[in-house]
Amino acid sequence: MTPQQRLKWDCDNYKKRLEANRGSNFEYWNDKHKEMLKQGWNLFLITETSTRQWSQTFRKESTSSEYHAKKYVEQLRSEGNYARIVCGYEKNVQRVKMYSIIFKPKPTKTKTQ
């Protein structure tokens, strides 16, 4: 591979990585989120059924699937909640990005006369 071909290949790789990561920038767990939990926010308990391990159901606060996290956030928002995805609540040795959902019910509007 010539230096010009290598440069073109590196540039193309960089552009494709940027495109693949577009729309996937979520906040990371920090002290702000701990304070939110004290103010009435809750962690969503994600239920996943594993087909590999004899169809056992796992309940936990994090998932490695961005698709599932987005699906649950849409579901919570349609039910009248504030919801957001946060990364890094659960960490692992392999550094797989884990997505958690933090949510809070929206206040109900009452009519005043």
Asked whether residue 46 is assigned to any structural domain, the reply reads yes
Asked whether residue 66 is assigned to any structural domain, the reply reads yes
Nearest by Cα to 40 from 106, 88, 110: 106
pLDDT band of 85, cuts 50, 70, 90:
very high
Asked whether residue 6 is assigned to any structural domain, the reply reads no
> What total of structural domains would you count in the chain?
1
Q: What confidence tens digit (pLDDT) does each residue in 65-78 have?
A: 888 889 999 999 99
**How far is CA 42 from each of CA 35, 38, 39, rounded to the nearest angstrom?**
11, 9, 9
Asked whether residue 2 is assigned to any structural domain, the reply reads no
Can you read off the two tokens belonging to residue 95?
Answer: 């550094």
Asked whether residue 75 is assigned to any structural domain, the reply reads yes
pTM: 0.68
Tell me: pLDDT of 111 over 80: no
Domain residues for the domain of 64 are 23-105
Tell me: pLDDT of 8 over 70: yes
